[in-house]
Chains A and B, each alone.
Chain A
Amino acid sequence: MRVYATARTAFKALRRNPMRAMLTTLGIVIGVGAVIAMMEIGAGSSSSLKKTIASMGANVLVVRPGTASSGGISFGVGTSTTLTPEDNQAILRECPAIHNAAPIVRARTQVVYGNRNWVPNTMYGTTPAFLDVQDWSILAEGEPFSDRDVLNGNRVCLLGQTLVRELFEGASPVGKEIRIKNISFRVIGVLTPKGANMMGQDQDDVILAPWTTIKYRVTGSSLSTTNQSASTAAATSDTVNTLSNLYPAAQISLYPERSSVQQADNPMPVRFANIESIMAAANNAGEISLAIEQMTALLRERHHLRADEPDDFSIRDMAELTKTLSTTTTLMTNLLLTVAMISLVVGGVGIMNIMLVSVTERTREIGLRMAVGARGKDILQQFLVEAVVLCLTGGAMGIVLGHGGSLLVQLLLKWPVETSPAAIAAAVLVSAGVGIIFGFYPAWKASRFDPIEALRFE
């Protein structure tokens, strides 16, 4: 009852000078309006930015086998042959934080069509899941190869835009045959252009084929040739490295080399198909660390590693992208907060200014109210409530203005906008707070008036 009456008195006092009340609260209106609009537009662009960065592969994880070493020389990550296609399937089956995963086998060799040839930067043998992991499912033309193609090792492939330009001079390649290492592949689809990646590599300079085809038909690897790089590296170090006397790298062959006739007669069965890496996508950027945990546990178990043994694989995430993502968001939030604080302080100073003028102007009224029995705290309360009412009215108008503004921006500029109830609640609280903070000094000053002096004031 008392508070209600005070609030009504405040409203009446403000209504006595509506124009000035409007102008006073304009600072708060604009401040809160700007905050609301910035919050909504900012939240919208921040989430669309997140989506864009995520599409660049922020939630992609790459699993590579560990290092191989021979004679004390390690050959770097990816040289040992511990990852299998079965690992890939197990990850898909048993890691709930993983959205999709694809095995990858690489080759680097010449591609020929008619009288033109090209060596693509990237030649990946993989499964159809790769397109999903890379967010590349929509093709420019044709259709992707299927799991059946992978099982059968069919000679089909997808081309990137650069290859289409270099080999076909822009003409449609779908249905044409190209040759990779004298093996003919049928082009069944064309990828959409992706441009350069963050490292400046052309992502369209790519050819995708079933990993079985690349592995067994193109690179022709079998058990005897899997650790190609290790043996060649060892061979070169034989001639160059002076330490080779201390650490002989040449492996002793226990069995006599088989002649080519023998090899043709009895091909060595491939018991163990290794892959070069697994590309997996986490459900979202937030679940990356969980996905890494799940994959590490699973692969350690599958590779029969004891607790004291180091991992024989490594998992890498796009840490740089994730960092960019979080810094962008923090930067955005901080920027908005700063703008909000400045505009609200400016608005608050405006309120304080006008309340001081109002107190001086109404000195006689204050004196009169004191003469008829108002105590200091009654006067304090009255002017404080007046300031808060002023700020809250301004805040409410600011919310309407800001929300309307952001809707207008959405309508006219087609910017993404997200309504944020938290921002609205904060705006109400902050404008009431500004009223109390900046209204207190004038109200306190009014409450300290001497009634005799105040009544005599001209």
Chain B
Amino acid sequence: MELIELHGIEKTYQMGDIFVPVLKGISLTIRQGELIALTGSSGSGKSTLMNILGCLDRPTAGEYWLEGQETSRLSSDERALLRNRKLGFVFQSFNLLSRTSAIENVAMPLSYAAENLSDSEARGRAAEMLGRVGLADRLDHYPSQLSGGQQQRVAIARALINRPPVLFADEPTGNLDSRTSEEVLQMFELLNSEDGITIIMVTHDPKVAGHAKRVIRLDDGLILGDVPAAEPDSEAPGGVS
């Protein structure tokens, strides 16, 4: 059983009387433990594809199998549950809750989890996660007291708190300078190689895509190229550790 299988995914937006097709039939398979970059020029449909992969949106047509479950016909509440259990999200602008400490930010998704953790258990798990991303000494700092890279690492810890098999990153380095970008990308590679978490990054930056083991290029709603384990790209500085 593959982790993710897409069969002929189409997405059409309706603007007044005009139908705008964004995805025009995408089929692909993603296995457990892959590190994928989803690239393409703006308007190519990569964000839309990620929203569908992340169960934030439903395709107009086609099938989306996640761990053997057909998700494209689920209700919004069922998709919320799925996102909570199986998917993690990291955003370009971090989206941390201001005036809320790092540990509380990380523990936030636990309050929507089906399993009812006690307060101390939740804090324990959040502290452990922050330790994994190297912020064990920043538990009670507020986002405004953290650097951009540290904030993104808090966001990563938050995405992983429910131990999902898949992590989505939407332009994770868009708001970071090159040095902290590198830190974050190394963190992704570490999580991918050590914990076997499948990571799907959306980026237009070839340097970021260079860290991926597989690059999927989208153009005008179709897959233009699917390069598995692009060896030549590994010449990028600070490759797979």
Contacts and interface: CB of A to CB of B under 8 A. Distances in A.
B49 to A, nearest CB: 12
Interface string B118-144: 110000000000000000000000000
Interface in A345-387: 364-365, 367-378
Interface stretch (B22-30, B80-88, B210-218): B80-88
Contacts of B41: none
Contacts, number: 61
Point out which of B80, B109, B118 has the most chain A C-beta atoms below 10 A from its C-beta: B80
Interface in B91-126: 91, 95, 97-100, 104, 108-109, 111-113, 116, 118-119
Contacts of A377: 77
Interface stretch (A1-9, A399-407, A418-426): A1-9
Contacts of B76: 375-376
B43 to A, nearest CB: 15
Contacts of A365: 95, 97
Given A2-B116, A372-B89, A373-B83, A364 B111 contact: no
A12 B97 CA distance: 11
Contacts of B83: 371-373
A15 B97 CA distance: 13
B224 interface: no
A16 B51 CA distance: 30
A375 B77 contact: yes
A452 B99 contact: no
Nearest to B84: A373
A451 interface: yes
B153 interface: no
Nearest to B116: A1
Main secondary structure of the interface of A (DSSP, over half): helix
Nearest to B119: A5
Contact of A369 (B57, B81, B112, B119): B112
B227 interface: no
Given A16-B98, A455-B91, A455-B95, A373 B51 contact: no
B102 to A, nearest CB: 14
A370 B109 CA distance: 9
B117 to A, nearest CB: 10
A15 B83 CA distance: 29
A447 to B, nearest CB: 10
A448 B77 CA distance: 12
Interface residues of B, number: 30
B80 A364 contact: no
B81 A375 contact: yes
B111 A5 contact: yes
A112 B45 CA distance: 118
B112 A371 contact: no
Interface in A1-36: 1-2, 5, 9, 12, 15-16
A369 B109 CA distance: 7
Interface residues of A, number: 24
A12 B100 contact: yes
Contacts of A451: 56
A375 B97 contact: no
A452 B56 contact: yes
A242 to B, nearest CB: 100
B95 A374 contact: no
Given A16-B100, A452-B57, A371 B116 contact: no
A372 B81 contact: no
Given A365-B97, A455-B95, A371 B85 contact: no
Contacts of A374: 80, 112
A137 to B, nearest CB: 69
Contacts of B81: 373, 375
Among the interface residues A5, A15, A377, which one has the most CB atoms of the partner chain B within 10 A?
Answer: A5
A376 B76 CA distance: 8
A375 B112 CA distance: 8
Contact of A372 (B51, B57, B77, B84): B84
Contacts of B97: 365, 368
Contact of A376 (B51, B54, B77): B77
Given A16-B99, A374-B112, A452 B51 contact: yes
Contacts of A12: 100, 104
B158 interface: yes
Contacts of B91: 368, 455
Contacts of B109: 372-373
Contacts of A367: 95
A266 B121 CA distance: 113
Given A16-B99, A16-B100, A368-B95, A373 B113 contact: yes
Contacts of A378: 112
Nearest to A16: B99
Contacts of A364: 95
A348 to B, nearest CB: 27
Contacts of B158: 372
B200 to A, nearest CB: 15
A372 B108 contact: yes
B19 to A, nearest CB: 19
B166 to A, nearest CB: 13
Contacts of B85: 373
Interface of A: 1-2, 5, 9, 12, 15-16, 364-365, 367-378, 451-452, 455
13 contacts: A12-B104, A16-B98, A364-B95, A365-B97, A368-B97, A372-B112, A372-B158, A373-B85, A374-B80, A375-B76, A375-B80, A452-B51, A452-B57
Which 10 A-B pairs rank lowest in CB-CB distance, beginning with the nearest? A373-B84, A372-B109, A373-B112, A16-B99, A375-B80, A375-B77, A368-B95, A374-B112, A373-B83, A371-B89
Given A364-B95, A377-B77, A378-B112, 15 more contacts: A9-B111, A12-B104, A15-B99, A16-B98, A368-B91, A368-B97, A369-B108, A372-B159, A373-B81, A373-B112, A373-B113, A374-B112, A375-B76, A452-B51, A455-B95
